Amino acid sequence: MATRRQTGQNGIVQGAILFVAAECRGMAKIGGLGDVVRDLAATYRMMGQDVSVIMPLYGILECQAEQMAEYAVSFAGKSWNTGLLKTTLPDGVPVWLVSQPDWFDGTYRTVYVDSSRLGHGPFEDDATRFAFFSAAVAEIVKSNEGFSSVRVLHCHDWHTGPLLTLLAHEKRYTELRSRLKTVFTIHNLDYQGSRPWQGMEGGRPGSFGSWFPALCGSLLNSGKAELYADPNNPSCYDPMRAAIRLADMVTTVSPTYAREITMPDEPESNFVGGRGLESDLGTLAAAGRLPGILNGIDYSQHDPKQLEVPYDADMDGWRQKRILGRERFVDGIPGWVRALAEKHGPRFANRERILDAVAHFEPLLWKNRALFVAVTRTVAQKFGILFSGMKDGRTLLEHILDRPLALIVLGTGELDGWLDSLMQRPNALFLNLFDAAAATRLYGAGDVFLMPSDFEPCGISQLISMRYGCLPLVHDIGGLHDTVAHGETGFIYGGGSLHAQQKTLLSLVDDVIWLRENRSGRWAEMQEKAMRTRFAWPTQAERYLQLYASITKQGADPSA
């Protein structure tokens, strides 16, 4: 990676940028983290910046990569033979892959591991795997001449907390730390990866002390361990908290979320704030070191002109074209589901149940109703309110499905069992899988994109849905507040308690259905404005470059 002069509007950054992340779309992606890493890196590449990504080589990856080097990585009391491979994404972004089969293949071949299914403790497996990844990255960047030009290390989410801890406190990395500036981006504060400071679980390396024995002893003896301890359980190391305290600059992915996480959680009002880290984050915010920079999307990847029936706001007759595409989609739902079942086989978790449901599909019922769609991780954060009980004992979702609407949900997660019960309704379908092309079909056909998150750091789905004229219906929090304009590009509900949120959401569903059926001109105006709205990466990338430039001019060491 050749050293290159990098210019932002507010200054100059010398050297290359290295993204350290668990995900990158095109290689391995579970959520928005993978989209951000890929799109931001690609944007830098387009802008002429020297940028690359380093991530684990998971067993599930299928790519052509060149073996570049091997290292002996000290971790958990032994030396691990570790490979470094390199591949290049179609947009020119170099991706470095850390290869170690014991940690990223076999039982551990997926991006994330469900420790409970292995009979292990919370985060035990992933925290250990990413602690190893951190140790490998530190050794690679220190030892490989190809990384000598790196000046900004941009670390993403809790998975990289051990890396920042090693750089700050392991003596062998003192010189490396002196030439690097670090940025840490919080993508979701709900996941922190906490593990005990000391102890072994059944002989497995599941604690900070088992990963880095000497460093653990040093931190505990010096009293510095308390700086990185889980505030809810001081006997545990919190990688998220460590990264927040040690990075030169901490960012998160929307301005409103940056404010929300400086406040404590309030369960009585159904408000999710700092998850125990609000004091640390408030201190950063007061010092001007917690900017919220909105995510963007790659509009070349999300283009309604590429659909089977193409349309866009700048095309004559776009509204009729969109309606035609929607009607064709509804007519073809049974065949679409069968094709997905054949394509994914057993990976389509509820395929037999949904195949049975579409065998009795009634297209006329669906055509005459507003089509609500959701593409989501089916977890409590995203959909919990829908399964909350109303005063009559029925769930909010049951009340919503009593309305004259149809609903399709595409996704996987902990609420799969609840959502599978949707198939009892003639106006609802749940596809228990993720398929990018299927998601695009839903964005292009849906009238309303349902996104009732309890909290949302930024959210990307609502940005994509707007591009396709599928108007988002969202909770007034985090990045949803920053991106959706009520009555202009979508619909927003709020409320100071769970009951109030249930009530306002249900009322808003009624209002949305009425508006679509009775004010078609107004509805089309909103769709057009939504399609024309842009949250493009170049603008957001420039803000990050300004941050890089600002910290490379500073000499403060946050570990001091």
Residues 139-175 have pLDDT tens digits of 999 999 999 999 999 999 999 999 999 999 999 999 9
Alpha helix (H) ranges present in 309-445?
Answer: 318-331, 333-344, 351-358, 363-367, 380-383, 396-401, 416-420, 436-445
User: 190: which DSSP letter?
Assistant: T
User: 451: which DSSP letter?
Assistant: E
Class of domain 304-534: alpha beta
pLDDT tens across the length of the chain (560 residues): 332 333 333 333 457 999 999 999 999 998 889 999 999 999 999 999 999 999 999 999 989 999 999 999 999 999 999 999 999 999 999 999 999 999 999 999 999 999 988 999 999 999 999 999 999 999 999 999 999 999 999 999 999 999 999 999 999 999 999 999 999 999 999 999 999 999 865 678 999 999 999 999 999 999 999 999 999 999 999 999 999 999 999 999 999 999 999 999 999 999 999 999 999 999 999 999 999 999 999 999 999 999 999 999 999 999 999 999 999 999 999 999 999 999 999 999 999 999 999 999 999 999 989 999 999 999 999 999 999 999 999 999 999 999 999 999 999 988 998 899 888 899 999 999 999 999 999 999 999 999 999 999 999 999 999 999 999 999 999 999 999 999 999 999 999 999 999 999 999 999 999 999 999 999 999 999 999 999 999 999 999 999 999 998 765 444 44
CB atoms within 10 A of CB 553: 12
* 330 neighbors 316 (Cβ within 8 angstroms): no
Residue 554 confidence (pLDDT): 62
CATH 3.40.50.2000 occupies which residues in the chain?
A: 7-296+539-552, 304-534
CB burial of residue 495 (10 Å; 0-12, 13-18, 19+): middle
Q: How far apart are the first and last CA of the chain?
A: 30
**By C-alpha distance, which of 559, 32, 536, 544 is closest to 245?**
559
Query: The pTM is what?
Result: 0.92
Evaluated on CA atoms 43, 528, 474, 369, the torsion sign reads negative
How far apart CA 22 and CA 54 sit, in angstroms, is 8
* 139 neighbors 69 (Cβ within 8 angstroms): no
Say whether 233 sits in a helix, a strand or coil: strand
Write the single-letter amino acid at 280: D
Output phi, psi for 405, to 5 deg. -145, 170
Dihedral class, residue 84 (left if φ above 0, else alpha if ψ from -120 to 50, else beta): beta
* 311 neighbors 318 (Cβ within 8 angstroms): yes
Evaluated on CA atoms 371, 375, 378, 384, the torsion sign reads negative
How far apart CA 269 and CA 265 sit, in angstroms, is 9
Say whether 112 sits in a helix, a strand or coil: coil
* 312 neighbors 305 (Cβ within 8 angstroms): yes
State CA 244 to chain mean position distance.
Answer: 18
* 407 neighbors 373 (Cβ within 8 angstroms): yes
Query: In this structure, are strands 181-186 and 5-8 parallel, antiparallel, or unpaired?
Result: unpaired
CB burial of residue 267 (10 Å; 0-12, 13-18, 19+): exposed
Pick the CATH number of 7-296+539-552 from 3.40.30.10, 3.90.1150.10, 3.40.50.2000, 3.20.20.110: 3.40.50.2000
